[in-house]
Structure 1
Amino acid sequence: MSRSIDYGNLMHRAMRGLIQEVLQDVSDHGLPGAHHFFITFDTTHPAAQLADWLRERYPEEMTVVMQHWYDNLLVEDDGFHVTLNFGDQPEPLYVPYDAIKTFVDPSVEFGLRFESAEDHEDGEDPTPPEDDTPEDDHNPHDAEVVSLDSFRK
Structure 2
Amino acid sequence: MSRGIDYGNLMHRAMRGLIETVLRDVQARGLPGDHHFFITFDTTHPDAELADWLSDRYPDEMTVVMQHWFDKLEVTDEGFSVTLNFGDDPERLYIPYDAIKTFVDPSVEFGLRFETQEEDDDNDEDEDPVPPKPTRTRQPQPDGKANGKDAQIVQLDRFRK
Shorter-chain TM range is 0.7 to 0.9
- Structure 1 alignment gaps of length 5 or more: none
State the secondary structure of the residue aligned to 1:144. coil
The RMSD of aligned alpha carbons is 2.6
Aligned to 1:137: 143
C-alpha contact 2:73 2:82 (8 A) present in aligned 1: yes
* Contact 2:38/2:63, CA 8 A, preserved across alignment: yes
- Describe how 1:37-76 pairs up with structure 2 within 5 A: 37-76=37-76
Q: Secondary structure at the match of 1:93?
A: strand
Q: Normalising by structure 1, what TM-score?
A: 0.83
1:91-148 Cα shifts (integer Å, max 9, x gaps): 00000000000000000000011111329x9xxxx888x99x9xx3265785333354
Letter in 2 for 1:104: V
Runs of 4+ in 1 over 4 A off after TM superposition: 138-142, 149-153
Following the alignment from structure 2 to structure 1, what is the Cα–Cα distance between the partners of residues 52 and 154?
32
Q: Which amino acid aligns with 1:137?
A: D
User: One-letter code of the match for 2:11?
Assistant: M
SS of the residue corresponding to residue 10 of structure 1 reads helix
Q: Counterparts of 1:10 and 1:44 in 2: how far apart (Å)?
A: 24
Post-superposition shift, 1:149? 5.8
- Structure 1 counterpart of 2:143, which letter? D
Question: What is the correspondence of 1:118-133 to structure 2 with a 5 Å cutoff?
Answer: 118=118
> Structure 1 or 2: larger helix share?
1
CA distance in structure 1 between the aligned counterparts of 2:91 and 2:74, rounded to whole angstroms: 14
- Size of the alignment, in residue pairs? 144
Q: Distance in 1 between matches of 2:96 and 2:146?
A: 20
Larger radius of gyration: 2
Map 1:4-83; keep pairs closer than 5 Å.
4-83=4-83
* Change in 2 beyond 3 A, CA 1:2/1:101: same
The share of aligned pairs that are identical, in percent, is: 72
Q: Secondary structure at the match of 2:118?
A: helix
Alpha-carbon separation, structure 1, partners of 2:151 and 2:39: 13
For the residues of structure 2 that align with 1:81 and 1:140, how far apart are their CA atoms? 28
